């Protein structure tokens, strides 16, 4: 794909099989990227097709607008989805990613830890593209969610060179490495959405990129108090299997169901109150960590509460990326941990989506 190889055949099924045989897919059949189809995406972009939007020094690869368009077609996207994909690529290319170390984007996607690239879409473009933010938000049923996320994975494989088993050495991976794209349920949220919290206007559209493991369900249909729900979420954030890889602090994505969010807000809690509580309680005792082999924790990563020493899993509220998503039909939320160990790794980037080109 990096040299724009071509397949000439009049038979679409033959083309699909050739792409699979040549390793240009994620294992699933793809849409053949005809010149006409790719041209539609390039027209939407309004950019030089050879413009480099992402440079990967470690694999000596460059992702151009044209390569991104080819893979978006292959993923089954509609042309209107392309601005989201380009914005996400610019998020991946942002110098702040992994504290400005370009190698960190590579590491986050090829590590044995198995991080995928979660996209969170905010703003009016959610409705325009019908990106799911409600019931079954991680699941099947919406073309936009499925194909935008899939396009990002195909770009990693075909354009960036993150080939599974060769460069991508995830020990187990997770289904989000096929496709991992959601929108925030701004309508059912009692708080300001993520992009507004980060300084964008309500009428702007953005996409947030973060290296992420799989969602872990948090069920609490019993508690009617803010503390009861939040202790449940903090406990999932602080499980031993997550803490041994995040002592000191990494970004935790908390995707809170609307029912939980509105119960908490109904008790007068602001979004910042929630983030402070979760950051404070994302901790595990040093004794617990020692039982599973983690016997050395730097002093600066610890805190003493009621005479007990704990290792911190968050540096502060800034490490809690809180969004509201899912259906208003059950007391269910989820926690998504980061692949990284200790700061300054594990950042997230929010990027505006350019829907009009000058």
Residues 220 and 161 in one domain: no
- For 39, 67, 172, the CA distances from 19, given in Å and listed in that order, are 20, 15, 25
Residues 134 and 190 in one domain: yes
Q: In the predicted model, what is the mean pLDDT of residues 63-74?
A: 97
| Range from 147-151, 194-198, 314-318, 354-358 carrying the lowest mean pLDDT | 354-358
**Is 347 inside a domain boundary?**
no
Count of structural domains, the chain: 2
**Is 72 inside a domain boundary?**
yes
- Would you call 318 helix, strand, or coil by DSSP? helix
Residues 231 and 201 in one domain: no
Residues 229 and 241 in one domain: yes
Residues 87 and 207 in one domain: yes
> Which of the 8 DSSP states describes residue 188?
T
pLDDT at residue 116 in the model: 85
Residues 172 and 277 in one domain: no
Q: Which of 213, 241, 256 is the last residue of a domain?
A: 213
Residues 231 and 205 in one domain: no
Question: For strand 181-183 and strand 116-122, is the pairing parallel, antiparallel, or unpaired?
Answer: parallel
Task: Give me the residue label for tokens 């009692």.
Answer: 190
E strands within 77-131?
Answer: 116-122
Q: Which of 178, 213, 248 is the last residue of a domain?
A: 213
Closest CA to 349 of 43, 54, 129: 54
At residue 356 the predicted structure's pLDDT band, cuts being 50, 70 and 90, is low
Residues 110 and 173 in one domain: yes
For the stretch 226-257, pLDDT in tens is 999 999 999 999 999 888 878 888 889 999 99
Residues 280 and 315 in one domain: yes
pLDDT at residue 101 in the model: 47
E strands within 167-301?
Answer: 181-183, 206-212, 216-219, 252-256, 283-285
Average pLDDT of every residue of the chain: 90
| Range from 10-24, 153-167, 331-345 carrying the lowest mean pLDDT | 331-345
Q: Is the pLDDT of residue 329 over 50?
A: yes
φ, ψ of residue 169 in degrees (nearest 5): -110, 35
Count, in order, helices (H) and strands (E) of the chain: 13, 13
For the stretch 168-204, pLDDT in tens is 878 888 898 999 999 999 999 999 999 999 999 999 9
Q: Is the pLDDT of residue 214 over 70?
A: yes
Residues 172 and 283 in one domain: no
Q: In the predicted model, what is the mean pLDDT of residues 103-129?
A: 82
- By CB neighbour count within 10 A (0-12 exposed, 13-18 middle, 19+ buried), where does 241 fall? exposed
Residues of the chain with pLDDT > 90: what percent?
71
Cβ atoms of 155 and 71 closer than 8 Å: yes
**Is 348 inside a domain boundary?**
no
Q: Is the pLDDT of residue 15 over 50?
A: yes
Domain membership of residue 37 as a residue range: 1-213
Residues 219 and 191 in one domain: no
Q: Is the pLDDT of residue 77 over 50?
A: yes
Residues 267 and 304 in one domain: yes
Task: Give me the residue label for tokens 């708080």.
Answer: 191
pTM exceeds 0.85: yes
For the stretch 274-325, pLDDT in tens is 999 999 999 999 999 999 999 999 999 999 999 999 999 999 999 999 999 9
């Amino acid at each position: 794909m990096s040299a724009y190889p071509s397949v000439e055949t009049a038979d679409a099924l033959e083309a699909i099989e050739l792409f699979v045989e040549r390793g240009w897919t994620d294992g699933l059949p793809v849409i053949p990227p005809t010149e006409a189809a790719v041209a539609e995406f390039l027209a939407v972009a309004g950019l030089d097709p050879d413009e480099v939007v992402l440079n990967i020094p470690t694999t000596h690869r460059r992702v151009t607008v044209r390569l991104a368009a080819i893979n978006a077609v292959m993923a089954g996207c509609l042309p209107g989805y392309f601005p989201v994909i380009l914005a996400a690529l610019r998020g991946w290319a942002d110098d702040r990613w992994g504290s400005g170390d370009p190698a960190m984007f590579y590491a986050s996607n090829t590590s044995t830890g198995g991080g995928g690239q979660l996209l969170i879409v905010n703003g009016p473009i959610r409705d325009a593209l019908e990106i799911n933010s409600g019931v079954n938000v991680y699941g099947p049923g919406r073309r936009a969610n499925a194909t935008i996320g899939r396009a990002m994975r195909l770009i990693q494989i075909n354009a960036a060179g993150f080939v599974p088993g060769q460069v991508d050495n995830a020990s187990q991976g997770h289904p989000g490495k096929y496709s991992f794209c959601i929108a925030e349920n701004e309508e059912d949220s009692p708080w300001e959405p993520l992009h507004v919290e980060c300084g964008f206007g309500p009428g702007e559209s953005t996409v947030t990129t973060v290296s992420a493991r799989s969602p872990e369900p948090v069920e609490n249909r019993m508690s009617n108090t803010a503390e009861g729900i939040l202790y449940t979420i903090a406990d999932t954030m602080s499980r031993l299997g997550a803490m041994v890889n995040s002592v000191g602090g990494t970004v935790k994505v908390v995707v809170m169901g609307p029912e939980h969010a509105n119960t908490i807000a109904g008790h007068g809690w602001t979004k910042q109150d929630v983030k402070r509580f979760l950051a404070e309680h994302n901790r595990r005792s040093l004794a617990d960590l020692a039982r599973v082999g983690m016997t050395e924790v730097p002093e600066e990563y610890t805190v003493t509460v009621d005479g007990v020493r704990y290792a911190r899993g968050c540096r502060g509220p800034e490490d809690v990326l809180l969004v509201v998503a899912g259906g208003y039909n059950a007391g269910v939320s989820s926690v998504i941990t980061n692949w990284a160990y200790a700061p300054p790794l594990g950042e997230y980037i929010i990027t505006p989506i350019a829907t009009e080109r000058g």
